Amino acid sequence: MSTWHVAEEDLRAYAQGELTAPLLWSADTHLIACAECRAGLAEVSDPVALDEGWERLDAELDAPRPGLLESLLMRLGIADHIARLLAATPVLRRSWLASVVFLLLTTVLAVRSTDSPTLFLALAPLLPLAGVALSYGPALDPTYEMAVVAPMHGFRLLMIRTVAVLVAGLGLNGLATLALPGYGLRALAWLLPALALTMTGLALTARLGPVLAPSLVGGSWVALLLITHAQQTSAGDPLAPFTAAGQGVAAAVAALAAGLLFLLRDRFDLFNGSAE
């Protein structure tokens, strides 16, 4: 039998939507299995705040929108509650997609008027990272209310949305790549850095939080490009991250970060289990 329970002050923070990861994930996981803590949560929950949570969630889910994404996802065989969750993920909304498309179009146009795809290759990996970062956290995320009113494994929720946002981001980057046929496969050199940045950002989020981690990773990417650009001997050469060696490093970083993320997931589960 488990002897660890969510502390009352944490339950209070949880009820108010103020509990942060990784405690949030531990509480999520524990609440699914522990009726005692669910009762405690109901006790400390401000009924007004909980109602507001439901209302905001209702408003988000019932807001008139084409429903195209949701029905498409369901047609692809995705369970309807997950399709609903994804459709309520803000970065999959039109405003986010529109800004990504605008950025990519601008960059593609700029690149087409020069003789190097570097600008596009530098920007493209940042977009999926930013998308995943923005799909995280209460300030930007209406599905956060869903986690508050209907506790679900936080890590699973994070993974479902990450995959969706990543697929959308990589898909848009891929379309932009098609607009640069002159560079052939060279124009695809953003893909491995994009995976490396997103995976590293996610793995560090567990330690550094949802703002610092992606900012640090994005900043490092820009710094790396500036440094390799400064060391460039001939203007026509590709920057180090876009050479074969650089791509190998990016693949290794992506794999390492994915492994780290997996290990940290286990640690979140152990955080509950260690007190048993």
Binding site for Zn ion (CB under 5 A): 5, 34, 36-37
Q: Which of 168, 172, 169 is nearest to 108 (CA)?
A: 172
Q: Closest distance between Zn ion and the C-beta of residue 34, in Å?
A: 3
Tokens standing for 4?
């660890």
Tokens standing for 73?
């996802």
Closer to Zn ion by Cβ: residue 4 or 183: 4
Q: Closest distance between Zn ion and the C-beta of residue 164, in Å?
A: 31
Q: If phi over 0 gives left and psi between -120 and 50 gives alpha, with beta otherwise, what is residue 151?
A: beta
Tokens standing for 62?
């019932």
Task: Outline where DSSP puts E strands in the chain.
Answer: none
Burial class (CB in 10 A: 0-12, 13-18, 19+), 154: buried
Q: If phi over 0 gives left and psi between -120 and 50 gives alpha, with beta otherwise, what is residue 17?
A: left
Q: Closest distance between Zn ion and the C-beta of residue 14, in Å?
A: 12
Q: Closest distance between Zn ion and the C-beta of residue 13, in Å?
A: 15
Q: Given the structure tokens 């570097």, which residue do they identify? A: 118
Q: Closest distance between Zn ion and the C-beta of residue 38, in Å?
A: 8
Q: Closest distance between Zn ion and the C-beta of residue 40, in Å?
A: 7
User: H or E stretch including 265?
Assistant: helix 244-273
Closer to Zn ion by Cβ: residue 233 or 274: 274
Closer to Zn ion by Cβ: residue 40 or 90: 40
Closer to Zn ion by Cβ: residue 8 or 46: 8
Closer to Zn ion by Cβ: residue 15 or 34: 34
Tokens standing for 10?
């944490």
Q: Closest distance between Zn ion and the C-beta of residue 8, in Å?
A: 11
Closer to Zn ion by Cβ: residue 5 or 156: 5
Tokens standing for 95?
């405003």
User: H or E stretch including 73?
Assistant: helix 68-75
Closer to Zn ion by Cβ: residue 136 or 268: 268
- Residue count (the chain): 276
Please give the Cα distance from 155 to 203 (Å, whole number). Answer: 12
